[in-house]
A = this chain, B = another copy of it.
Amino acid sequence: MANQYHARIYVTLRPSVLDPAGTAVASGLKQLGYQGVEDVRIGKYIELNLTATDEAQAKVQLDQMCDRLLANPVIENYRFELTQLATV
């Protein structure tokens, strides 16, 4: 028996890593008149469904997926949220 899970994964640049895209967006927002905007950081937001025997196995799989493909552990952090969808 397996369970289906929905995962929301947030990949962000480590705080020590410069974010040129974020700086560009901050300057764009200021040019549009939003003077109070600061510290813009741009990351990735990934949603996926996965099948696993239980929540612990789903978390192990997601950690591996993030380390191997979804994030670059040298410059990025990640975190995820898991919700169970159905038992199949």
- Chain B nearest Cβ from A11, distance in angstroms: 7
List B contacts of A26 (CB < 8 A).
48
* Contact bitstring A8-26, B, C-beta under 8 A = 1, else 0: 0011100000000010011
A70 touching B34, Cβ below 8 Å: no
Set B25, B28, B34, B52: member contacting A46, Cβ < 8 A: B25
- Chain B nearest Cβ from A73, distance in angstroms: 15
List B contacts of A43 (CB < 8 A).
44-47
B12 touching A45, Cβ below 8 Å: yes
Residues from 21 to 73 in A contacting B, C-beta threshold 8 Å: 22, 25-26, 28-29, 32, 34, 36-52, 61, 64-65, 68-70
